[in-house]
Amino acid sequence: MSALQLPLYLNGDAKRSEWSDRILQGDCLALLPNIPDESVDLIVTSPPYADSRKKTYGGIHPDDYVDWFLPISAQLLRVLKPSGTFILNIKEKVVNGERHTYVLELILAMRQQGWLWTEEFIWHKKNCYPGKWPNRFRDAWERCLQLNKQKQFAMYQDAVMVPTGDWAKTRLRKLSQTDLRRDESRVSSGFGKNVSNWVGRELVYPTNVLHLATESSNRKHSAAFPLELPKWFIKLFTQEGDLVLDPFVGSGTTAIAARMLGRHYLGIELLPEYVELAKLVQFNSGNM
Amino acid sequence: MSALQLPLYLNGDAKRSEWSDRILQGDCLALLPNIPDESVDLIVTSPPYADSRKKTYGGIHPDDYVDWFLPISAQLLRVLKPSGTFILNIKEKVVNGERHTYVLELILAMRQQGWLWTEEFIWHKKNCYPGKWPNRFRDAWERCLQLNKQKQFAMYQDAVMVPTGDWAKTRLRKLSQTDLRRDESRVSSGFGKNVSNWVGRELVYPTNVLHLATESSNRKHSAAFPLELPKWFIKLFTQEGDLVLDPFVGSGTTAIAARMLGRHYLGIELLPEYVELAKLVQFNSGNM
DNA sequence: GTTCCGCATGAATCGATAG
DNA sequence: ACTATCGATTCATGCGGAA
């Protein structure tokens, strides 16, 4: 789909409400330029991993990955609001017995591009692919890179608080004065170790290791990542009515998550079959 | 301590048995050159984090971290056996609201130096206290970089097998003891449990995510990692009688772990007070 | 309706084989 | 030598059918 064939609702002059909440089929590098500057509150995406979907996406070679992604991230930087956040779910492949370095290089290159590498969340995959190899174990985690345009960005931490675990109660009982003092010295700022702030509370703030609920909706389609993953980031970085973009929306997981949470969304997907699947699920998820 | 003042047991001509199983006080960059080529089976260390221990180590600025570490890693590359492994526990600091990139740059630089970046294990600090800052949550994980000299290296995967999630869950539920049920028993954990209790049962291989509680003992070394962490890597990458090196041994955690597992060890520590502490613990751990 | 098995299925990786 | 393809390995999970 060329720029000239773009649907009217992607015209930059249109109001957002006229072009959001859709799944677009096409190359995101061709479609992204039609999204207005600084119009997106949150980008959550899981791009095709290097060399891993050769049959479907043509297979980006690990050595070419950074060059392939940088023009896209340049567009994402443009369309993101100054207070917005970009969550990039990615993991390096094993190449010739080594972890490839394209993710490291991508982070460095995106910083040159103007992004701030604010944080790296860890997604612990509970049911990772099985297998046994002579010199490695199963890969059970992926990176969720948090990138921003500014040091100050929108973040709604209270929206993702989690119930206090049993460990907290146990821990509290065991806390001695020396424990408290030691931790106070270890934590230099902010919330710190003021136990009174969380004693008796039912909810606590999570960490940067994603500990999502084990419950997973009965999805019949294969999703790139579980629904809970985009939901968590959408709750954390947006409010109702905000706009969430996924330039590699696949079967629509991010769009569904946004819809469920009352956020506007815009999904882009290259493969028509995924677009159809996404639209189907999108339609069926109306009452979720 | 200059090279001229090196103790006799660090003379390259001496047999390993004459110079191992000791904690040496001094700058590792000055002491490492006296260790013979390709004599170490495993290196496990947690170097001082950038800028985090200004008072004790002089505070390596994040921007200088790579230049500071590369001469050391060059020595480590030399003393490591071809089949050996280097486990580097490290985590980037937040500088000016961003994760600093020195760890990424260090990986790239060490590859230029000849290291292979085989794997990145995640140490998930599962019992760290909740906490929050305006723009981030509590940091609950650290990197354990696995670096090698060759694609083929010694690895004893059977030594770290853990009970299956299903089996453990079922059995523990039938025991109906709250404490046991709460105990982490899934595949991804396996620390802090007496695995011998499960011998003969169904065991599976772990993943590259290590669930491990931070140590709550009264260690004075500020960067001490929990004993289970070096123990796990020592079991995975060495056999009894092998030699384990920690060039930043601190209060001796790696040395204690090696001793407990019947491995030879060599610890290096700059600060005399830590050396004394390490030797004390080393002595007291004789019957552990 | 529950609970309990059995079974298919993965954003995987290695080594061998083939071109 | 270097790349492309295939078989073997492995386990948490969700599902369907059975008790």
A149-177 pLDDT, tens per residue?
Answer: 999 999 999 999 887 654 444 444 333 32
Nearest CA in chain A to B118: A98
- The pLDDT confidence band at residue B137, using thresholds 50, 70 and 90, is very high
**How far is Cα A278 from Cα A270, in angstroms, rounded to an integer?**
12
A42-76 pLDDT, tens per residue?
Answer: 999 999 888 765 555 667 889 999 999 999 999 99
Nearest CA in chain A to B85: A135
Closest Cα partner for B216 from B280, B88, B129?
B129
Q: From the candidates A86, A104, A172, A237, which should be mutated to test the interface with B, based on the most B CB atoms within 10 A?
A: A104
| Sequence-ordered list of residues with C-beta below 8 angstroms from that of A276, at least 6 positions apart, any chain | none
B99 touches chain A (CB under 8 A): yes
Least confident interval from A113-127, A212-226, B5-19, B24-38: A212-226
Closest CB to A137 among B136, B206, B216: B206
The answer to whether the beta carbon of residue A129 comes closer than 7 angstroms to any atom of strand C is yes
In the complex, which nucleotide's C1' lies nearest to the CA atom of residue A140?
Answer: C12
Q: Which nucleotides of D are covered by protein (CB under 7 A)?
A: 5, 8-15
**How far is Cα A143 from Cα A124, in angstroms, rounded to an integer?**
9
- Up-side HSE of residue B26: CA atoms within 13 Å toward CB? 19
Average pLDDT in the B247-267 region?
95
- The pLDDT confidence band at residue B177, using thresholds 50, 70 and 90, is very low
- The pLDDT confidence band at residue B173, using thresholds 50, 70 and 90, is very low
CATH 3.40.50.150 correct for A2-161+207-284: yes
B126 touches chain A (CB under 8 A): yes
B53-92 pLDDT, tens per residue?
Answer: 555 556 789 999 999 999 999 999 999 999 999 999 999 9
A69-100 pLDDT, tens per residue?
Answer: 999 999 999 999 999 999 999 999 999 999 99
Average pLDDT in the B89-96 region?
95
| In chain A, % of residues over pLDDT 70 | 73
B3-55 pLDDT, tens per residue?
Answer: 444 555 565 567 787 788 999 999 999 999 999 999 999 999 999 877 755 55
Q: Give pLDDT, residue A182.
A: 29
Q: Give pLDDT, residue B175.
A: 43
- The more confident residue out of B149 and A59 is B149
- The answer to whether the CB atoms of A104 and B99 lie below 8 A apart is no
The answer to whether the beta carbon of residue B7 comes closer than 7 angstroms to any atom of strand D is no
Q: From the candidates B53, B66, B129, which should be mutated to test the interface with A, based on the most A CB atoms within 10 A?
A: B129
The residues facing B23 across adjacent strands are B267
- How many angstroms away from the CA of B19 is the closest CA of chain A? 31
Q: Give pLDDT, residue B164.
A: 79
Q: Give pLDDT, residue A44.
A: 98
What are the residue boundaries of the structural domains of chain A, listed by start? 2-161+207-284, 164-204
- The pLDDT confidence band at residue B216, using thresholds 50, 70 and 90, is low
Least confident interval from A47-56, A73-82, A106-115, B212-221: B212-221
Query: Over 50: is that where the pLDDT of A218 sits?
Result: no
Collect contacts of A16-22 with beta carbons under 8 A, ≥24 apart: A16/A243, A16/A264, A17/A264, A19/A266, A20/A243, A20/A264, A20/A265, A20/A266, A21/A259, A21/A264, A21/A265, A21/A266, A22/A266, A22/A267
